[in-house]
Amino acid sequence: MKDLIIAGAGPAGLTAAIYAARGGLDVTVIERAFAGGQMAASNVIENYPGYENETSGAAIANSMKLQALRMGAQIENGEITSLELSGNIKRIVTSKKEYEAKAVILAMGAEPRQIGIEGEKRLAGSGVSYCATCDGAFFRNKVTAVVGGGNTAIEDALYLAKLCTGVHLVHRRMAFRAQRILVEKVIKTDNITLHQPYLPARVTGEYAADGFIIKHAESGTEKKLDVSGVFFAVGTIPKTALLEGRVKTDEAGYIIADESCKTNLPGVFCAGDIRSKRLRQIVTATADGAMAATAAEEYIYTASG
């Protein structure tokens, strides 16, 4: 029996573990892959407080992990297959073992959204990717394309521009949603070409991507970009499939919780990108983690008398 189980070891889950362990709780974090989540896959982070110079996401993730372990939290690997959250005792089953806890923090994050165009699924891993920092090195000295208009897409284009001879940035609107400072960097980067307003149409290639067809959003005119890789950065989908029908979510599937990160189920809290909110950044994920852990601690001590 654990005091607290945290599902997910991204910045939200790791921060929750730090706060919960520091508060004296017996806490275990369950992570299916590696500590840090999407943060760990970010090549450069320059807007996280306390880091004066540009820092890799992997470095920050490792620091958070070591801090959580030093505080006494346990981090275990496993794929969560089922969750029983309605009773006083919460049960979490993974591919390796079963856990019981007095409270649970859901911090599974979100995963990249797929476009659904021809060639995308077939060529995934063979020229189609959703993580520039993970796969960018495979396209060194080649030409690539990035799809999207938010911070992630802009950051991906800037990262790839350091490795590739050319980068095509495709966005369906004339205006970007990304921060102005990032957009200005893209405009000043010589080997990045903007395509606006254009929509992705299909990725070509039999065994590996050899081109990217894009379509003008207004005229419908198509043109082919001769690229070896296409990176999609068009948002995320919350990892809430195991929670369907039990935890309240918004129309997009993100968990609805108040500022203390309490869900509609007693003893169940959420934190990070999985929560319905306006801004999803590392700093907001860590803030969620701190709030969720504090609320969980109060719940556990109140329930135990």
Q: Which residues are catalytic?
A: 131, 134-135
Helices (H), the chain: 11-22, 37-40, 57-71, 132-135, 151-161, 180-188, 282-303
Supply φ then ψ for residue 182, to 5 degrees. Answer: -70, -40
List of residues 6+ apart from 142 with CB closer than 8 A: 164, 165, 227, 228, 229
The position carrying tokens 């909110």 is 277
Residue ranges with strand state E in the chain: 2-7, 27-31, 74-77, 80-84, 90-94, 98-106, 110-112, 128-129, 143-147, 166-170, 192-195, 198-204, 211-216, 222-225, 229-232, 236-238, 268-270
Q: Are 261 and 277 in contact (CB under 8 A)?
A: no
DSSP, res 114: P
Mode of pairing for the β-strands spanning 192-195 and 198-204: unpaired
* Nearest by Cα to 298 from 93, 111, 25: 25
Distance CA 73, CA 15 (A): 11
Q: Which tokens hold the place of 149?
A: 């208009």
